[in-house]
Every structure is written in structure tokens, then in C-alpha cells.
Structure 1
Amino acid sequence: MAGIFITGATDGLGLAAARLLIEQGHSVTGHARNERRAEQLRRRLPGMADVLIADLSSKRQTVDLANRANRGGAFDAVIHNAGVGYREPRKITTEDGHAHVLAINVLAPYILTCLMDRPRRLVYLSSGMHHSGDADTRDMDWDHRPWNGAQAYADSKLYDATLAFAVARLWPGVLSNALEPGWVPTKMGGPGAPDDIELAHITQAWLAAADDPAAKVSGRYFYHQKETAPATDALDPAFQDELLLSLEELTSVRFPPQ
């Protein structure tokens, strides 16, 4: 039985992955944005080991979440599932002054990666849209460009994949991978999304807990349990280092050495 922590576990793919992992006999701790959603999750999945609450758009709450998650020691796996989509018609700014999509999709998983006790496996949710991401960290908060929600989302998912591969390179003792779940009809994907919702959550659960040798790899990119090629920029060590430096500057949280 593995101990697994899943961000954004209250609905969509996070909820489905949590349900599957509990059915497989694992101990799953979920995350919710607030107490109301946490209570909904407890009712939906009474087999959940615990539910931790934090608004991931807030650095203060994300740091506190890492500290509370560490009280029980390191998890076997952490799935960075929480995210917001690309339909924001205008730039939304968090209490810390960051673009909402950057704070939740990128800064939060970075902070949690740095501050949580190091697990054996890390799983980061990217998107097929990461291939359209811009490998440039000079204006990650969109302070100096006209807002483009779709591009901001694509950039964030490129950063997620790049973070996964940077961790794989710099922490050889951790299996760190990224995946795309497909364009599925979740709250984020919308009702017209064409991919199979029944398959979308399986890969993240598989990478987090499976004994299958195909899942016990690192620095890879998956779609429906099959390795596929990520954007070449995400595999570039120079861009990985540039991203880590930029994230450290934005969060004041240092990426731990090996």
C-alpha cells in the first residue's frame, strides 16, 4: 500500500484518480481549496485518509499546506493535479500579485515540490497544449504583454513538463514524470471535449503507484500510459535551469539540491 497525496482532488481527474487508488488499496490524502469542498470530498470518498485545505493561488497557504503534509512524513507519491484552464477572458491577479493561472498551475507545484518531504514518485499534469507554450520566462506573469488566456495556459503546461524533467535530472532518487490526460469533458475541458473521460485519470494513478516497470521510469512524458514525445524545449537542461531560477525569484523558495 502506498501513501499518495493528490492536489485538486475534489472533482474531475483528481477525484477519479483518488477513487481508483483507494479502490486499489492505497492510502490517499486529498487536497481541497476550502472547507466546503473538503467536506464534499469526504462525503464522496469516505475512504480518503485525510483532506488538507489550501488555496493554491496563495503562497502563504501553499507553504502551510506543505508543512501540514510533512507532519506524517514523506508520501510515496505526490500527484500535482490541481489546475485552472484557458478560458479566463482577462488576467486575474492573486493576492501575491501573480497571474492566477501561473500561481495555481506552476508556482504551487513548484513550492510543494521544494518544501514537501521528498517522495519516491512525482507526477505532474501537463497538456497537449504545452507544445504551443513559449519557452521564455521573461514575463511569466503577463505584466508586459496583452493578456491571452490560451497562451498563458499553454505556457503554464510547458513549465509543468519542464519542471518534471528538471526534477528527474536533478533528483535521480525520485521518479518524476509528466503526462497529458487528453482533452476530456471535465469542468476545465468543457462539455464538448472529445477524449475519453474514462481513460483520462488512469495514467496519473498508474505513474504514482504501479509496479509495472513501464511506470517506474523518470523524465518521461505520457499519454494514456504510453510514452510520447514532449516539446523539445522541456527537455533542454538550459531551459530547465532558467525556469527553476525564475520560479525561485518569483516565489523566494529555493529549489533544493540533490
Structure 2
Amino acid sequence: MNSAHFNAKSTTDEVLAGTDLRGKRVFITGVSAGLGIETARALVAHGADVIGTVRDLDKAHGATQVVRDAAEASGGSLEIIRMDLADLASVRAVTDSMVAAGKTFDLVIANAGIMAPPFGVTPDGFELQFGTNVLGHFVLVHRLAPLMVAGARLIMLSSNGHRFGDVDLDDPNFTHTPYDPWLAYGRSKTGDALLAVAFDARHRHRGVRAASVHPGVILTELTRNIAPEVFESAFASMHEQHLALGNAPFEVKTPAEGAATTLWAGVVADAETIGGRYCEDCAIAAPLADDAVVSAFSAGVRPYALDPVRAEQLWIKCAELTGEA
């Protein structure tokens, strides 16, 4: 399908215009806020049947009313289930129920995540961002893989924050490294991109592909762990650096613009084009040289986030840490 006309300002409705998703089943983590709500809304509006995970069912019921309204109007559906991505027992309980039901998926979107909280550990003892953003999704997609049919896709939500740092396979939990919330976030987003590379390598032989996406900078609940004044100061500083490098003023995206790349890569773009790649602005991201000087808002992907050897090493490390076969 020709999608060359999409760009940074394209919305979910524009990307999916004319697409019939009736009969397609989609699994999305984190559908009670921001990008998750908009992604689910756009999918059900085109007839898809969506299963979305949330941590708080009461909150999600009100937050997803717009999704249910869209589903009722189109014939799509939304089912909400509780899952705490930080708790591997919770992830396993949900995936076990999915496997037991035996219904297949055409699209899995690893959308949920946390950003830059103070140091903490998951119920399983892992550093909070690595344990949630990487290990939680690793267990999820590893266990859902048998339900993904030929032609299915996995979309991992990464971020241009991956440029804050590569994964540290020797000290993933900051046991010996001084904890920095943004470094930990960057490592986890690199980890998400590498999981897509590893998953794609494992499943492309059967027609199942995977990609990671940077949705852009969107002001959502992802910033809930950061004091407003701290976030505003950091944002202003990053924008000053962005301008100092000769860039045009940066524009924050709306949720509809941010979720567009997820749906472009997950539904619209050619599977061979996006397989194992990192996408942004409804396109394949340009590679950055290791020594390229860029701002936090610049486009492009660091080579380490797409390194197939690194991806395989991370996959094996995740399997060891979580005890997954």
C-alpha cells in the first residue's frame, strides 16, 4: 500500500482512511490514557476488535468511553482487562488466559510504559523502568507470539529517548551504576527497539513482523512521575539546545498525530519495509552516526538500537532474568 504521503502531522484517521479492520483482533497494553486511548479508538472505529490492558479498571472505564462509543458506531469492540506490566505474575496470568482462549491476533501493540520515575523496583526485584518497559513486554510478546497469525505484526513503542543510552546487559538494574532516571528511561526505550529487532528475526520466517516506533513528543500521563516544574525546565532546556543546533522551533504532537505512526507501521505500511526497523513520523527513521550531535527533539535512530547482535543478546538476557524458556 502506498503511504508516502503521510508525515509528522498525519493523524490516525488519515492513516487509516478507507481501511476495513472488521474481523481483525488487536492486543494493546495501556489503553486508559493518551496514546493508548487514541490508538484503540482509531482501530475500533474501523471495525477492529481490541483487547486493551490497564492497571486501574475503574479509571479505564471512564477514560475509554470515547473508544466504546466509536466501537458501537462501527461494529468494532473493546474489551478491557487488568494487567500490571511491572508484575510478571500479572502478565503471565493475562497471557495464560489469552492462550487458553485460543483466539488469534493480527496486531499486538506494546504501548504502555513509564518514564523517569525515582529509583524503585518491581515486585520481581527489577529496576522499575527496565522491569516494566522491557521485561514486562518481553514476557508478554514472547507468550502471545504463538497466537499471532501469518501477516500479524508487533509494534513496540520506543522513543527518541533511546538516544540517552544503550542497554547495559551487565548491570540492567543499576546495581553498580548510579541511578539516573533519564538514563534508565533511555536504556529501556533502546531495549524496546531491540526487542522488536529480535522478535522480527525470530518470526519473520512465518510471516509475522515487528517494528518499533517513536510517536513523537506528546504531553500525556507519561510525565506523571515528574514534578511539573522539573519537566517544564527540562523541556525548555532541551528546546534551547534544539534551536542552538539550527533547527526550526519544535512542535508538540497531539495524541492523534502521535499514534499515527503506530498505526502506519502496524496496519498500513508494507510489512517488508517496516520489519525490524525503527519508525517515526509515519516513515522509516534515518540512521544517525554514532558521533552525530543531535537535540532531544531531532529525528533519527542510533545504530545500537537496531543492532541485531545486541538484540539477540538482550533477548537471551531477558529470557534468563524472567525464567522464560
Instruction: State TM-score, norm by structure 1.
Output: 0.90
Q: Provide the C-alpha distance between the structure 1 equivalents of 2:51 and 2:277, rounded to a whole number of angstroms.
A: 25
Match of 2:36 among 14, 20, 43: 14
Q: 1:203 aligns with which of 257, 261, 273?
A: 261
Match of 1:112 among 134, 140, 160: 140
The answer to whether the 8 A contact 1:179-1:204 is kept is yes
Aligned to 1:123: 155
Instruction: Show the counterpart of 2:215.
Output: 181
CA distance in 1, matches of 2:28, 2:141: 13
Alpha-carbon distance in structure 1 between the residues aligned to 2:111 and 2:178: 28
- Name the amino acid aligned to 1:34: D
**Judging changes above 3 Å, is the alpha-carbon distance between structure 1 residues 12 and 92 closer, same or farther for their aligned structure 2 residues?**
same
Displacement, 1:59? 0.7
Q: Distance in 1 between matches of 2:270 and 2:125?
A: 43
Instruction: List alignment gaps of at least 5 residues for structure 1.
Output: none
On the 8 A contact 2:29/2:109 being kept in 1, the answer is yes
Greater gyration radius: 2
Q: Could you report, residue by residue, the CA deviation over 1:44-99 in whole angstroms, capped at 9, with x for unpaired residues?
A: 4223431111111111001111112332422100000000012x2x3111211111
Number of equivalenced pairs: 251
Question: Which letter does structure 2 place at the counterpart of 1:108?
Answer: G
Counterpart position of 1:219: 276
**Residue identity matched to 2:106:** D
Q: What's the CA shift string for 1:140-197, capped at 9, x where partnerless?
A: 1112221100000000000100110111122112110001011111122578664211
Over residues 85-131 of structure 1, what are the superposed CA-to-partner deviations in whole Å (9 max), with x where a residue is unaligned? 12x2x311121111111121001110011111342110000000112
Partner of 2:240: none
State yes or no: 1:253 paired with 2:285: no
Offset of residue 42 of structure 1: 4.9
Computed over aligned residues only, the root mean square deviation of the Cα atoms, in angstroms, reads 2.0
2:312 paired residue number: 241
Task: Name the % identity.
Answer: 29
Does the CA-based 8 Å contact 1:38-1:53 persist in structure 2? no
Of 75, 84, 106 in structure 1, the residue corresponding to residue 105 of structure 2 is 75
Measure, in 2, the Cα distance between the counterparts of 1:85 and 1:135: 16
Return closer, same or farther for 1:215/1:27 CA change in 2, 3 Å cut-off: farther
**2-side partners of 1:216 and 1:53: how far apart?**
34
| Contact 1:175/1:216 (8 A) holds in 2 | no
Rounded Cα–Cα distance in structure 1 between residues aligned with 2:306 and 2:265: 19
Report which stretch shifted further, 49-58 or 64-73: 64-73
Q: TM-score with structure 2 length normalisation?
A: 0.72
Question: What is the aligned partner in structure 1 of residue 25 from structure 2?
Answer: 3
Confirm whether residue 61 of structure 1 aligns to residue 94 of structure 2: no
1:144 alignment counterpart: 176
Q: 8 Å contact 1:111–1:251 — kept in the other structure?
A: yes
Q: Which has the higher contact order (CA 8 A, sep 6+)?
A: 2
> Compared with structure 1, are the counterparts of its residues 253 and 3 closer, same or farther at alpha carbon in structure 2 (3 Å cutoff)?
same
Q: Distance in 2 between matches of 1:45 and 1:236?
A: 37
Amino acid at match of 1:243: L
Looking at secondary structure, tell me which structure has more helix per residue.
Answer: 2
Gaps of 5+ in 2: 1-21, 72-76, 236-250, 288-300
